[in-house]
Structure 1
């Protein structure tokens, strides 16, 4: 989910007045959907365009499926590992109920290639 549609391609508005639940439990309007090209080999889709969000959010399932990673959750942090090699790729820390992605070079390279202008968190 993203607040800005500037990084989305194949953008389509949501005429059906779709909604997304936000952290306080309320529903907010989904303006549209599109795709984000992270690297030549990784496109995330569908990505919801939600104006009320202040940060960009990635679903755990998006990362685990797209990159063939596993994710382990602990009371105060999480760890991403490559399923084939077992190598730790990245981690996150718990902050106000969300696991915030550490700015690990390996994790961001896997997700976003050389694009340094990204700011995504994990839910």
Structure 2
């Protein structure tokens, strides 16, 4: 069942390579778009997801490295394809005023 309550038949189950990691996936040929469950992705990929107004990042929980990205277009987040989403080191800078 999808978010609007409609029932879409699952016609197969397979594996998807998402950000160079394997994740189980359902095959729904009636769907016109590829969608992911953020909750399932965080479990399967052992990552956290950071949403910003114009982008999204998937970060490995153990290393903090960015393992995948996407941008915002037409009110949806579009993930970059695997060939374009090389892992990038995250850097966090902070400062304090005395």
Indicate the residue corresponding to 2:28 in structure 1.
49
- Distance between the aligned counterparts of 1:83 and 1:60, measured in 2? 14
Q: Secondary structure at the match of 1:55?
A: coil
Structure of higher RCO (CA pairs closer than 8 Å, 6+ residues apart): 1
Structure 2 unmatched runs, 5+: 87-98
In our comparison, the structure showing a higher alpha carbon Rg is 2
Structure 1 unmatched runs, 5+: 1-18, 109-123
Alignment of 1:102-113 (within 5 A): 102-105=80-83
Question: Would the alpha carbon gap of residues 61 and 48 (structure 1) be closer, same or farther in structure 2, given more than 3 Å must change?
Answer: farther
- Distance between the aligned counterparts of 1:107 and 1:60, measured in 2? 17
Q: Secondary structure at the match of 1:20?
A: coil
Indicate the residue corresponding to 1:100 in structure 2.
78
Indicate the residue corresponding to 2:2 in structure 1.
20
Alignment of 1:1-123 (within 5 A): 19-21=1-3, 28-38=6-16, 42-45=22-25, 47=26, 49=28, 51=30, 53-105=31-83
What's the TM-score once normalised by structure 1's chain length?
0.54
Given that 1:79 and 1:92 are in contact with CA atoms closer than 8 Å, whether structure 2 keeps it comes out as yes
- Distance between the aligned counterparts of 1:32 and 1:97, measured in 2? 26
What's the TM-score once normalised by structure 2's chain length?
0.65
